[in-house]
Amino acid sequence: KVGFPTYIAVRSDRHGRGTGVALFQAYEEMARRFGLDRLELVTRPGGAGAGPFFAKLGYEHAGERISRSGERYALYTKSLKEDL
């Protein structure tokens, strides 16, 4: 089972204060409780996107996707399964 967080934003005056990390940690915990195995999300590619933030949270870059309108997106994924 895969979850797709579609839009989470943090006001620019809150960047660097742990707000986004706390939001994603809470989201991931809820996703685990609901039995999801993995999360996938997209962001703008390169320096315009949040890729470095997601990588810091343990998400892996899994390539790029192109939307129906032709926009490029970087795909990130994270397993929610506990290491055994």
pLDDT, tens digit (0-9, with 9 covering 90-100), for 28-82: 999 999 999 999 999 999 878 899 999 999 999 999 999 999 999 999 999 998 7
**The pLDDT value given to residue 84:** 43
Helix (H, G, I), strand (E, B) or coil at 41: strand
Asked if residue 73 lies in contact with residue 66, where contact means CB atoms within 8 angstroms, the answer is yes
| CA quadruple 14, 17, 22, 25: dihedral, nearest 10 | 120
Cα–Cα dist 9/50, whole Å: 10
pLDDT, tens digit (0-9, with 9 covering 90-100), for 44-59: 998 788 999 999 999 9
Give me the mean pLDDT over the 8-18 stretch: 88
